[in-house]
Homo-oligomer: A and B are copies of this chain.
Amino acid sequence: MKLAILFGGASYEHEISIVSAITVKEKLSRYELSFIFCDQDHKFYLIDGTKMKAVTFSRGEHRKMPQIFLANGGFEQRGLFGSKKHDMPILNLIHGGDGEDGSIASLLDFFHIPFIGPRKEASMLSFDKHYTKWLANSLGIKTLPYEILHKEDKRAVKTAYPFIIKPARLGSSIGVSIVREERELDYALDVAFEFDSVVLIEPFIAGVKEYNLAGFSARGEMNYSIVEEPQKAEFLDFEKKYLDFSRSGNVAEASVSDTLVQQLRDAFKTIYLPLFEGALIRCDFFEIEGEVYLNEINPIPGSMANYLFDDFGDAIQKLLGSLPDKKMIRVKYDYIHSISQAKGK
């Protein structure tokens, strides 16, 4: 079965996308894989599978490989004697900007290229942590209270210390700080505003129980991963997260009650359907006093959260067989016909 892994992108998470792609390559060895690299200038290259190493990209060696172009129905490789179409389905593995903000979804949809990944609305609502609050709230899913601060706002925070500051539109813990007292506030805001003009502030709850659950829907049925209790050194910083994206060994299932598993699955399903159809996503939850709170939605989780699935290859196959169709609109020119008839033309 053919599948192309699309990775890279003009994003702060460009490098971890490369790591993700290399990891997923190993886990999908049963597929006939292609690799499409999107560089920071938005040029696409078809990467030789044997060159799927981090240094290929950091050394710029991808530029020696064939450049390909978006075209209706697939990527096009142009040559002197015509062009070759690469029209296999795409696995969108571009983390952060481009991949998770709705750009890549818009592009692939526009060019009628089937893909695994969040569609544009799902991307937009999960990429921006402020919009995710709106979504969860409208679905009756609990989240922590929050406030929003814009770069140009007065730096007055109402949330009690300690709290956590996150750039609104970034993943992988980039620019995130825990602020314990007032004198740490300015620096933490400076760091977050380096990456985004909007930040989200939430109470920091030391020792809160965290659970991650991944899943997807295929042929009308939900498929869930095991529940993971993520290891955390308070929270994962970028370097640790970076290594985290190369995880391929299976992790131990969290020892949690059946009731909690059911609560997590119920919340996951409420968030997932129908917005995230076509994607394998990971939701990160808190458990507070027996209740489940949504922390984050990862619509393209690091290395596709492969380590949470017994048979990751099978999960991808199920998804591929159940990608959403985009409604086709046929234009009949009824109004123009009736108007031009009325004008006697």
Contacts and interface: CB of A to CB of B under 8 A. Distances in A.
Interface of A: 10-12, 14-16, 18, 40-43, 54-55, 57-58, 69-72, 97-98, 101-103, 105-107, 109-112, 120-121, 124, 128, 130-131, 134, 138, 197, 239, 242, 274, 328-331, 333-337, 339-340, 345
Given A120-B102, A336-B57, A330 B15 contact: no
17 contacts: A14-B329, A14-B331, A15-B331, A16-B335, A42-B72, A43-B72, A54-B339, A58-B340, A70-B70, A97-B329, A102-B106, A102-B124, A103-B106, A105-B106, A106-B110, A107-B107, A197-B274
A110 B111 contact: no
In this complex, the member of A54, A101, A106 whose beta carbon has the largest number of chain B beta carbons within 10 angstroms is: A106
The 9 closest A-B pairs by CB, nearest first: A106-B106, A58-B333, A134-B134, A58-B336, A54-B336, A14-B331, A103-B106, A40-B331, A15-B335
In this complex, the member of A18, A98, A134 whose beta carbon has the largest number of chain B beta carbons within 10 angstroms is: A134
A168 to B, nearest CB: 11
A128 B125 CA distance: 12
In this complex, the member of A18, A98, A103 whose beta carbon has the largest number of chain B beta carbons within 10 angstroms is: A103
